[in-house]
């Protein structure tokens, strides 16, 4: 686990020294330098080849420069393909899985019932019925604007960092990686994507949870949000830009092991279905199964962390119920036992299988179609 506690130690779960917004762009800039070079002229490519050879331009042979440029062009093409395919996969995942995610967050964030009273939602189906009755089908897609607006950036980071780490770990171009190496690649991608996922998740969760929290917060003047931008404005007004990173630590603790497990399981299943042969020839059926089970493995490893993340991110800034992630964990465990740490687990698992099957299938199809 990456140790961020010394930096992100605010008692309310808000980072004391949060990553500024431009960190997100720095990550993308670090991960996608090659894609930005696609528009450079041949002259600059030639000059980079000379620099890579550590020789003055007149002494570099034309053949050597061409080989260097060819390797560079392959690298740039791989980054661009990961970017495009990751975006397609993320869009497919979001469209298929968002209604399940809405129900999950409603169940996670509903206030604990008073003694002798039933909870607002008795279960996942009851949450669906109440949401449909009160808000119609649109209610199941509430909060989708924030992840939809950032799906390109999130998946660009996730799949491109993973792809670049794969390239670093390969003994030679095109060589297959072991499952353990894929786990490392997934963990690294999870760390990178956390910086973008944290503010996106906060906005999404606050939109999804506001109806579940309405009864308990009506008398406290809780904000009623009109959309993702309105959430961001309220948060910045109340807590500054660092407020957008409330819950960053549990987000990091979710994304790092979760993506390590997901990509490791995905590649292990692909290798199993391929029977030790090249996995690039797998049909859509095995890819759907591998993607769905890989998505399920994500939540099996990190679901309690996701519950803590959700309650921290929907908590009040002015009068927080929890002093931090550990406090939220202890209080949920004390009040509800282990069951409380798995609120909404059913919808999460129901979402993860079809959503990630769609994501990985769309990614693989788009990636292969790009050559």
- pTM recorded for the entire structure: 0.70
Q: Per-residue confidence at 212, pLDDT binned at 50, 70, 90? A: low
Domain limits of the chain?
Answer: 41-369
Q: Which stretches within 275-324 are classed as H helix?
A: 284-313
Using the predicted structure, report yes or no on whether residue 71 has a pLDDT greater than 80. Answer: no
Q: What is the mean pLDDT of residues 81-94?
A: 84
In CATH, 41-369 is 3.40.50.1820: no
Would you state the pLDDT for residue 92? 86
Q: What is the mean pLDDT of residues 224-248?
A: 92
pLDDT, averaged across the chain: 78
Joined together, the tokens standing for residue 326 give 């550990």
Over the stretch 9-24, which tens digit does the pLDDT of each residue have?
344 444 444 444 433 4
| pLDDT score at 113 | 73
Low-confidence winner among 29-43, 239-253, 324-338 (lowest mean pLDDT):
29-43
pLDDT value at position 146?
Answer: 65
pLDDT given for residue 242 in this prediction: 94
What's the pLDDT score for residue 76? 59
Summarize the confidence of residues 120-128 as an average pLDDT. Answer: 87
Percentage with pLDDT > 70 across the chain: 74
Beta strand spans in 36-181 (E):
none
Is the pLDDT confidence value at 29 over 50?
no
CA 169 – CA 164 distance, rounded (Å)? 9
Q: Using pLDDT thresholds of 50, 70 and 90, give the confidence band for residue 173.
A: confident
Q: Which of 20-34, 237-251, 349-363 has the highest mean pLDDT?
A: 237-251
Summarised one tens digit per residue, pLDDT across range 290-334 is 999 999 999 998 999 999 999 999 999 999 999 999 999 999 999
Lowest mean pLDDT among 82-86, 123-127, 198-202, 362-366: 82-86
Please provide the distance, in angstroms rounded to a whole number, between the alpha carbons at the two ends of the chain: 36
- Per-residue b/e over 89-107, b at no fewer than 16 CB within 10 Å? bbbbbbbbbbbbbbbbbbb
Q: How far is CA 363 from CA 35, 358, 366, in A?
A: 18, 8, 5
> Is the predicted pLDDT of residue 209 greater than 50, yes or no?
yes
Other CB atoms within a 10 A radius of the CB of residue 165 amount to 20
Average pLDDT (51-69) is: 47
CA distances to 154, 286, 325, 343 from 305, in Å: 20, 30, 9, 11
DSSP three-state, residue 324: coil
């Amino acid at each position: 686990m990456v140790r961020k506690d010394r930096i992100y130690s605010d008692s309310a779960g808000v980072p004391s020294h949060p990553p500024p917004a431009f960190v997100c762009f720095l990550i993308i800039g670090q991960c996608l330098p090659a894609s930005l070079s696609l528009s450079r002229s041949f002259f600059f490519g030639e000059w980079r080849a000379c620099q890579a050879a550590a020789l003055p331009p007149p002494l570099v042979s034309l053949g050597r420069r061409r080989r260097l440029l060819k390797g560079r062009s392959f690298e740039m093409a791989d980054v661009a393909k990961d970017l495009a395919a990751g975006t397609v996969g993320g869009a497919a995942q979001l469209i298929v899985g968002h209604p399940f995610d809405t129900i999950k967050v409603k169940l996670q964030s509903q206030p604990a019932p008073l003694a002798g009273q039933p909870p607002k939602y008795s279960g996942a189906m009851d949450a669906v019925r109440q949401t449909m009755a009160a808000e119609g089908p649109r209610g199941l897609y509430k909060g989708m604007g924030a992840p939809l607006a950032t799906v390109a950036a999130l998946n660009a980071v996730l799949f491109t960092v993973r792809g670049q780490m794969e390239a670093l770990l390969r003994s030679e171009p095109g060589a297959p990686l072991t499952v353990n190496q894929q786990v490392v690649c997934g963990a690294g991608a999870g760390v990178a994507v956390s910086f973008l996922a944290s503010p996106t998740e906060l906005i999404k969760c606050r939109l999804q949870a506001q109806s579940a929290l309405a009864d308990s917060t009506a008398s406290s003047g809780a904000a009623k949000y009109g959309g993702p931008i309105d959430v961001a404005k309220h948060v910045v007004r109340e807590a500054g830009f660092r407020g957008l990173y409330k819950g960053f630590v549990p987000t990091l603790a979710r994304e790092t092991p979760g993506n390590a497990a997901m990509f490791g399981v995905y590649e292990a299943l692909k290798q199993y279905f391929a029977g030790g042969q090249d996995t690039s020839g797998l049909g859509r059926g095995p890819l759907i199964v591998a993607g769905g089970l890989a998505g399920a493995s994500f939540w099996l490893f990190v679901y309690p962390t996701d519950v803590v993340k959700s309650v921290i991110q929907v908590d009040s800034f002015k009068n927080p119920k929890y002093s931090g992630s550990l406090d939220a964990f202890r209080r949920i465990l004390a009040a509800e036992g282990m069951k409380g740490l798995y609120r909404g687990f059913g919808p999460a698992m129901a979402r993860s299988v079809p959503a990630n099957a769609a994501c990985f299938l769309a990614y693989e199809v788009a990636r292969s179609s790009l050559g």
